[in-house]
């Protein structure tokens, strides 16, 4: 049987094999998908919205590309986007060092805004995760803090200085428990510790934020610990850069309507902002330099 009009030897239409990039230049599907793989590998994870904007194509096109690339073993498809192969961003945890290299500028902007809520003499809770770790570095200069954390990297930020002439005014309470891939201590021991503490403000970093699933994590024990941390804070603040939107982990920490305040960056698209503003108590969107 002969080829129909407009079809190529690969069994697809020429239009299927071509698309307009962000500058209006037609590129092959193979080139577009190579760019998707490269971008996901560079970031560790990327959302459909980000990739569609970067490539100048529709979200539907990106979803089809991600599905094809996942079938080919090039990356892993997760809800709302894709991760590098083996990360399985929706259900598994990447290590702390790997995640610390992602969205560095956004995390710093979020941390600086969140740090404005902290005053000398406060009792402050910091969860595990790289955004809370960046915030810890911003808070190191605030005097007379009592820092409660289940994160080994966060506790390390507040360790006593090597030089005797450096000021040291923070007290650190490190909870115990089972160690996660992100070097957080979670489980019943951590929960019991947090249940007896009263914090001025608690900061929680999360794996994913979703309209239906709420705040999520890949770790069941971590979800219980995070709930206890939020409950211990008179003021509870969620820290989540824009790439967390649409990512769903294994279990829900709390639903969106239970979130008092969420701090994110201006990479979050307008539709997501509108949805979050309708469901959380307060949404802070900070610009990234």
Considering the domain architecture, whether residues 172 and 230 belong to the same structural domain is answered as yes
User: What's 206's domain CATH number?
Assistant: 3.40.50.1360
Indicate if 74 and 163 belong to the same structural domain. Answer: no
Assess if residue 109 is contained within a domain: yes
CATH number at residue 72: 1.10.10.10
Distance of alpha carbon 219 from alpha carbon 180, whole angstroms: 8
**CA–CA dist 137, 245 (Å, integer):** 25
Tell me, yes or no, whether 77 and 101 share the same domain: no
Backbone φ and ψ of 217, nearest 5°: -145, 155
**Residues 173 and 258 both lie in one domain:** yes
Residue 197 to residue 194: CA distance in whole angstroms: 5
Total domains in the chain come to 2
- Indicate whether 111 belongs to any domain: yes
Q: What is the pLDDT along the chain (289 residues), one digit of tens a residue?
A: 444 444 444 444 434 444 544 444 456 888 899 899 888 877 667 778 888 888 888 989 999 999 899 888 888 787 677 777 654 444 445 555 556 566 789 999 999 999 999 999 999 999 999 999 999 999 988 999 999 999 999 998 887 665 565 556 678 888 888 888 778 899 999 999 999 999 999 999 999 999 999 999 988 999 999 999 999 999 999 999 999 999 998 899 999 999 999 999 999 999 999 999 999 999 999 999 7
Domain hosting residue 201, numbered range? 96-286
64, 105: one domain: no
Q: Would the pTM count as exceeding 0.85?
A: no
| Same domain (yes/no): 268, 138 | yes
């Amino acid at each position: 049987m002969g080829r129909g009009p407009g079809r190529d030897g690969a069994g697809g239409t020429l239009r299927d094999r071509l698309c307009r990039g962000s500058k209006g230049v037609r590129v092959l599907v193979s080139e577009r998908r190579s760019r998707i793989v490269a971008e996901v590998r560079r970031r560790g994870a990327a959302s459909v919205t980000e990739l569609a904007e970067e490539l100048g194509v529709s979200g539907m096109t990106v979803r089809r590309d991600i599905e094809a690339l996942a079938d080919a073993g090039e990356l892993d498809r997760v809800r709302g986007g894709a991760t590098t192969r083996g990360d399985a961003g929706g259900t598994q945890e990447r290590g702390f060092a790997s995640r610390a290299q992602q969205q560095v500028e956004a995390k710093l902007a979020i941390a600086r805004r969140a740090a404005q809520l902290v005053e000398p003499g406060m009792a402050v809770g910091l969860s595990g995760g790289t955004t809370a770790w960046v915030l810890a570095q911003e808070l190191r200069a605030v005097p007379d803090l009592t820092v409660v954390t289940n994160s080994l990297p966060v506790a390390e930020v507040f360790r006593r200085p090597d030089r005797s002439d450096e000021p040291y005014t923070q007290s650190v309470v490190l909870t115990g428990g089972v160690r996660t891939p992100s070097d957080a201590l979670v489980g019943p021991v951590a929960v019991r510790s947090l249940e007896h503490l009263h914090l001025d403000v608690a900061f929680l970093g999360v794996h994913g934020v979703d309209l239906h699933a709420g705040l999520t994590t890949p770790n069941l024990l971590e979800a219980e610990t995070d709930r206890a941390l939020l409950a211990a804070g008179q003021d509870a603040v969620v820290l989540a850069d824009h790439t967390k939107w649409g990512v769903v982990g294994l279990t829900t920490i709390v639903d969106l309507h239970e979130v008092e305040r969420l701090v994110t960056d201006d990479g979050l698209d307008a539709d997501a902002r509108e949805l979050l503003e309708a469901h959380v108590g307060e949404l802070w969107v900070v610009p990234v330099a």
